[in-house]
Amino acid sequence: MGFRDFYSLLPLIDQVDPYRFYVKGYTEALKLFSGVRVVLDEGWLNGVPPDLQDYFFRVKFPCYFIPIFRDSNCFGFVVKGFQKETPRFCTNNKYLPGCERIHGGEVVVLVEGIKDSYLPFLACKGLPVVVIPMLTAIPSKDLLGFLKEMGCSLVFVPDNDVYKGDHVSRFYELCGKVGVKGFVFELNGIKDFGDFFVSESRGWVLGEGKRLREMVKGMSIF
């Protein structure tokens, strides 16, 4: 069985009983992405080349298989399970989950993690906005170059932690090198948008989501 067959045989995320496999925050967020599937156990790895199987074993089973699409092409994948680690295999680092939604001219909201993407998706619903989890703290030059080519406007949402200042400075530096204009949305009162899944923080997160929507609506693209 080839890799394409392996992927096509995996159950889609909506086809898996949440009582059998559920990761708070990640399950909700990943349902908003295209083509996410579930690897229930190692018996499903027959079509995966041996050199790639370690990505799945590192997060244990079951786990989510998140393809990285651009148009009809798959450039790699991300694996997510109960472990904090989120292994990524990608043959072209300028593409990430969600890039398949970019057709040109959108506002792209860059967040650090998959769970952080859920509330911005909801808050910006109905607007020409694409939310991209960077799977790291700072976007790569390749990603920024791709977004420039596509005529996108950028909003970077750094985690509200002790490293925020350094990450913001580096973001602006990279934008300058690539020649793309980027904006920063600084969170107030929460660490990141993933706090939506902490019940005592949800009210604050919803308020920050409304503020993000107003910022995006106020950008010149609209």
Asked, as a colleague might, if the bond just before 62 is cis with ω within 30 of 0, I would say yes
DSSP structure string for 45-102: GGGS-GGGTHHHHTT-SSEEEEEEEETTEEEEEEEE-SSS---EEESSTT--TTGGG-
- What whole-number distance in Å separates Cα of residue 160 and Cα of residue 131? 18
What's the chain's average pLDDT? 94
Nearest to 117 by CA among 16, 196, 180: 196
Q: Is the pLDDT of residue 16 over 90?
A: yes
- What whole-number distance in Å separates Cα of residue 186 and Cα of residue 203? 17
- Can you read off the two tokens belonging to residue 174? 């990279």
Same domain, 148 and 192: yes
In a domain, 64, yes or no: yes
Q: Is the pLDDT of residue 1 over 90?
A: no
pLDDT band at 205 (very low <50, low <70, confident <90, very high): very high
- What whole-number distance in Å separates Cα of residue 209 and Cα of residue 131? 13
In a domain, 121, yes or no: yes
Same domain, 77 and 130: no
pLDDT in the model for residue 4: 75
Beta strand 73-80 with 63-70: parallel, antiparallel or unpaired? antiparallel
Same domain, 114 and 163: yes
Query: pLDDT digit string (tens) for 55-80?
Result: 999 999 999 999 999 888 889 999 99
- Can you read off the two tokens belonging to residue 43? 């018996």
In the chain, % of residues over pLDDT 70: 98
In a domain, 222, yes or no: no
pLDDT in the model for residue 93: 84
Is residue 59 within 8 A of residue 40, CB to CB? The reply is no
- Within 10 angstroms of residue 107's Cβ, the number of other Cβ atoms is 21
pLDDT in the model for residue 221: 63
Q: Is the pLDDT of residue 208 over 60?
A: yes
pLDDT in the model for residue 220: 63
User: In whole angstroms, what separates CA 168 from the centre of its chain?
Assistant: 19
Same domain, 20 and 111: no
Same domain, 106 and 196: yes
Counting the structural domains of the chain, the total is 2
Same domain, 129 and 194: yes
Last residue of a domain, one of 67, 90, 113: 90
Query: pLDDT digit string (tens) for 99-158?
Result: 999 999 999 999 999 999 999 999 999 999 999 999 999 999 999 999 999 999 999 999
Same domain, 130 and 24: no
First-to-final CA distance of the chain: 48
Same domain, 81 and 104: no
Cβ-Cβ contacts under 8 Å for 167 (sequence gap 6 or more)? 137, 138, 158, 159
In the chain, % of residues over pLDDT 90: 86
Last residue of a domain, one of 36, 66, 90: 90
Last residue of a domain, one of 50, 68, 90: 90
> What residues make up the domain containing 45?
3-90
Query: pLDDT digit string (tens) for 35-47?
Result: 999 999 999 998 8
